[in-house]
Amino acid sequence: MANHLYQGDLPDDLQLGPVVAIDCETMGLNPHRDRLCLVQLSGGDGNAHLVQIARGQAEAPNLARLLRDPDVLKLFHFGRFDIAAMYHAFGALAQPVYCTKIASRLVRTFTDRHGLKALTQELIGVDISKQQQTSDWGAAELTKAQMDYAASDVLHLHRLRDALDAMLEREGRAALAQSCFDFLPTRALLDLEGWPDTDIFAHA
């Protein structure tokens, strides 16, 4: 099991399978202001593939092809942000998608702990570190600690999905969850177009 670091894009011959976990690291939480620095991916085999994105880079053809591939399910935790960040950077809208945070909110209504660290601890017994969460992802060279942290954000999403799917089925909310996942790319586009905090479905 290893971390593989690439510059600018995924390799041409890399095959990650039908379900790919994806996460992003940026310079901040405003996609219009804060640039995308790193995209990390895993096919669920214990390996992480990290793509460093250069400042001003507007194309990553292999990554964009994967994001748009209708036969590859993209797994996220809080996909709303990652989908928006990658669309803003490359113009590629991720579909179809699954978000473990949405699934958790729909089925784990007995708690307000829906962060990735809480989910991995409670559902699969894995303790991940968040120490590098606020580090400088725009640095030219990433530290081993940064790469390990970035990898941890995608290495467990397949197992989390399995655990959450079982709960969604048990509670009769699988179809509702799927509807939310189907809408998620549109929700990300609404954020980018100027409605990040507005409930457009509200009466007032």
DSSP string covering 98-117, please? EEHHHHHHHH-TT-S--SHH
Q: What is the amino acid identity at position 120? A: T
pLDDT tens readout for residues 140-197: 999 999 999 999 999 999 999 999 999 999 999 999 999 999 999 999 999 999 999 9
| Closest by Cα among 196, 189, 184, 170 to 73 | 184
Fold of 3-193: Nucleotidyltransferase; domain 5 (3.30.420)
SS3 79: helix
State residue 183's pLDDT score: 98
Looking up tokens 């829906």 gives 114
* CA distance linking residue 189 with residue 163, whole number of Å: 29
**Residue 129: per-residue pLDDT:** 80
8 Å CB contact between 100 and 113: no
Find out whether 5 and 52 touch, Cβ atoms under 8 Å. Answer: yes
Domain boundaries, the chain: 3-193
The amino acid that residue 51 corresponds to is V
What pTM did the predictor assign?
A: 0.96
pLDDT at 114 over 90: yes
Q: What does DSSP say about strands 48-52 and 3-7: parallel, antiparallel, or unpaired?
A: parallel
Distance of CA 39 to the CA centre of its chain: 9
Q: What pLDDT does residue 6 have?
A: 98
Q: What is the dihedral of CA 184, 189, 195, 199, to 10 degrees?
A: -20
**Confidence at 134, pLDDT banded by 50, 70, 90:** confident
**Mean pLDDT, range 31-41, rounded to an integer:** 97
Whole-number pLDDT of residue 130: 73
Checking if the pLDDT of 132 tops 90, the result is: no
With H, G, I as helix, E, B as strand and everything else as coil, classify residue 7.
Answer: strand
Span 44-102, pLDDT tens digits = 999 999 999 999 999 999 999 999 999 999 999 999 999 999 999 999 999 999 999 99
Q: Is 13 helix (H, G, I), strand (E, B) or coil?
A: coil
Q: What is the DSSP letter of 168?
A: H
